[in-house]
Chains A and B, each alone.
Chain A
């Protein structure tokens, strides 16, 4: 089965609403990262977050390694937040596994 599961698969928000994206792992891991993929395809790492809570602007990532889960909170969503949010883990030094992503669409 899938080692990295993301939910929801897709999400539609009105501008200004908050969102909570989930990432669950079925295997032990060393660390994880959250990525944002723009509609045109480019990927950028949002958070390198092996554990605990990290915040950057309107984004907050919380990872609990022993519970094998991470969440990404987006507050006051904007149209420019639309795109795909991916989480990835490494199970050893070499294997980096990505989830299938949450497709976010923010409407005006």
Chain B
């Protein structure tokens, strides 16, 4: 499967822990997005990379959320320290030439539960 790969699929953390979520975009894609999805807020943008450069850092999510793209085929999202309100599904998406030019491809997501 050459789609977007996210690991783990499920994560359970205690309040105050540090967790790292991983994403491998579609091979050759230059744009990578991290989103958080909850029933109340829907999909919220956490970060956006273009050719490994951070273009958007999600504003309100800056303090405890940090996304990195160490190479073109791997990205991480670190949440430190976790809080119960961080419980959500975290989605990674990629595209070759950006949202304005072609479809976005999503991974299956990581479901995070913070106790």
Contacts and interface: CB of A to CB of B under 8 A. Distances in A.
Interface string B36-61: 00000011010010000001100000
B106 A33 contact: no
B42 A33 contact: no
Given A42-B108, A48-B102, A95 B56 contact: yes
Contacts of B48: 94, 96
Interface string A5-38: 0000000000000000000000000110101000
B100 A100 contact: no
Contacts of B91: 43
Contact of A33 (B33, B56, B104, B111): B104
Interface of B: 33, 35, 42-43, 45, 48, 55-56, 89, 91, 93, 98-106, 108-109, 111
Interface of A: 30-31, 33, 35, 41-45, 48, 50, 86, 88, 90, 93-101
